[in-house]
A and B are shown apart, each in its own frame.
Chain A
Amino acid sequence: MIGYYIRLALKSFRRTCGLTLLMGASIALGIAVSVATVSVYHLLAGNPIWWKNDRLYAVTMDNWPPRAMLPSPPPGVDLALGPSQLTYQDAMHLFASAIPERKVVMYKTRGVLSGGTARKLPLRAIARVTSADFFAMFDVPFLYGTGWNAAADRAPKPIIVLSKEENQKLFGGEDSVGRTIRWNDREFRVVGVLDDWLPRPKFYDINNGPVLPPEDAYIPWGWGATLELPTAGDVECLTLGSLKTFRDFLNSECNWIQMWVELPRRSQRERMEALMNAYWSDQHTRSRFTAPMNNHLTNVGDWLAEHQVLGDDEHLLLIFGFAFFAVCVVNVVGLVLAKFLGRAGTSGLRRALGANRGHIIVQHITETAVLALGAALVGLALAEGCMWVLARGIALVNSNGAEAAAHMHFDMWSFLWATSLALVAAVAAGLYPAWRVARLPPASYLKSQ
């Protein structure tokens, strides 16, 4: 019978083309706005490594001056949390600890990749200068090869790991392990190619754009200082000093290094905290740390919450998206009711010819479902447009916006969400009108039909 009802629905759409377009547009708009807002929320809301939430910790220490000495922060900025990154010297001290099961220090740099077999021209790229544990610690999947070991960090070996996309651009997607490419003016040997990996939000470097994709390449930590690779990320310098050379920068009070540790056991966490506190006391004695102790080991969930990846704006946006969808559905209920009541005579006739109320309700719900599913497809296209506009907006305020734009689109999850919304719309918009029509006494319409 469902096939029959779908055929009746299509005939009904043809007969009331204008009204159908109006209803479809209303549902499509509601779904588009809702899917776009939910997609953004989903992009920002998830803990992309939730299974390690009780093991992974961001390491922060407060090297800022007492807050009373600082100017008032801009609205929305909470100085009480302290810096979200470490200075190079603090990072290196803590990185020397053997307490964590795994540990990572890292930063983002920018350069040029060249020498691939599939591309003649050099390619501007973002690389992460990171220590060896990065891949195992964040469960990064490899398509070809592997990462490197700690020795390659200490006496840096000229090796590099490429993202899947970058390997596609440079080598046409083939196994490039063992091939040589150039990072700026130095040759590096490819030891690994990542598989698809898109942590959303990019929790491990939250202050450099939570919606940005992972980097194009990964270079052993030791090369940062050796090649004096500049940071392309956020740098927090509250106390200014002489920064004439790269060495000055490494020894400065600027915070620009992200550090994460893997501490699966409580005892490890306690020992790590003790180490950080002891280091703070030592530095405090040397008059370096002047603000009260403000050391933190923060798990991923708290890290995302503290940095307000999901702020009130996102929550409001989500509420707005649903409210808009509800308004659209209510609007459609009125149109559907008018349409269904307008052909109550036909429904009365069907009742006289043997349809029970269930038949009438299912027939009408099917009609709204077909309409809503069609509108969902249009809504998805509109949502993609909304996401595109949103990505362009990000591009205006963020230098890496173009990369963000590439990832600001809906996925299968959004498709399922849109389909669910369409079904909700169909039931919500169609149930009451269908019920009303099914309850009408058929006899009263047969004389006037």
Chain B
Amino acid sequence: MLKMQNVSKIYRTDLIETHALRNLSVEVSAGEFVAVSGPSGSGKTTFLNIAGLLEEFEAGTYHLDGEDVSRLSDNHRSRLRNEKIGFIFQSFNLIPDLDVFDNVDVPLRYRRLRAADRRERITNALELVGLASRMKHMPSQLSGGQQQRVAIARAIAGDPAFLLADEPTGNLDSLMARQVMDLLEQINDMGTTIVLVTHDPELARRAHRNVHIVDGQVSDLMIQGPRSTTGGGSGAEGAFEAQPA
């Protein structure tokens, strides 16, 4: 699914060079749930940005879903991002003047889908995260946990093969964090590959595998045991019923 080999990324200014990634090699198989952890400044977000085709890199190779994406045009990268990758961010990154429906609609707009098709996908995604009744709400009318669920709906509405989550629970309290993790696990169970960047060892333990990055390099690889289910419910609807409006 995702295969990086000896990827290096250097940020340059007039005065200094910062090696964000040094010969990083990571492989993620289809259907995996991989947690990426490491201290601040270790290169986790750079790895995620490169994996999400948001940044280019100096050296190495990167194959996404079997396709070499090391040197693609901007248009091609944009299309791959749109069709194969879903993003979930720490600060939700919802567009404040669009309602929930329109926020989830954003990636679908760039795929030139028919209106009916888009509406169906949006409805399904919002039902999955338990917010189908909040379609016309503005982001400011939602709690942090609800906003993150809208962001998750936006990420999965296009049915991507690959979900990249950058500290998705960083701005949430522990209860909401667990609920978001439950939701990610549910999505993973449906076959979507997930790469999760997190500081939280407890969340990292819920992944199939943990990749630890230090100074831009993978320091160790851990195969996790069976996924923890603490705080999880049987489904998203059940898990979020108690959330405030």
- List residues of A whose CB falls within 8 A of some B CB: 1, 4, 11-12, 14-15, 345-346, 349-359, 441-443, 446-449
Contact = CB atoms under 8 A, between A and B. Distances in A.
Interface residues of B, number: 29
B104 to A, nearest CB: 10
Given A441-B55, A443-B49, A355 B110 contact: yes
A448 B55 CA distance: 16
B153 to A, nearest CB: 13
17 contacts: A4-B109, A11-B98, A12-B97, A352-B87, A353-B106, A353-B110, A353-B154, A354-B79, A354-B82, A354-B110, A356-B74, A358-B75, A441-B54, A443-B54, A446-B54, A447-B90, A449-B89
B45 interface: yes
A346 B95 contact: yes
Contact of A449 (B52, B78, B83, B93): B93
Contacts of A1: 109, 112
Interface in B69-96: 74-75, 78-79, 81-83, 87, 89-91, 93, 95
Contacts, number: 71
Given A4-B109, A443-B54, A443-B55, A354 B97 contact: no
B82 A353 contact: yes
A104 to B, nearest CB: 66
B125 to A, nearest CB: 13
Contacts of B154: 353
Interface of B: 45, 49, 52, 54-55, 74-75, 78-79, 81-83, 87, 89-91, 93, 95, 97-98, 106-107, 109-112, 154, 158, 166
A448 B89 CA distance: 10
A356 B72 CA distance: 13
A447 B45 contact: yes
A350 B106 contact: yes
B54 A442 contact: yes
Taking each of B45, B83, B89, B110, which has the highest tally of chain A beta carbons within 10 Å of its own beta carbon? B110
Contact of A354 (B81, B90, B91): B81
Contacts of B52: 352
Contacts of A441: 54-55
A354 B111 contact: yes
Given A446-B166, A447-B166, 11 more contacts: A12-B97, A352-B87, A353-B106, A353-B107, A354-B81, A356-B74, A356-B110, A357-B74, A441-B55, A446-B54, A446-B93
Taking each of A12, A353, A441, A447, which has the highest tally of chain B beta carbons within 10 Å of its own beta carbon? A353
A358 B74 CA distance: 10
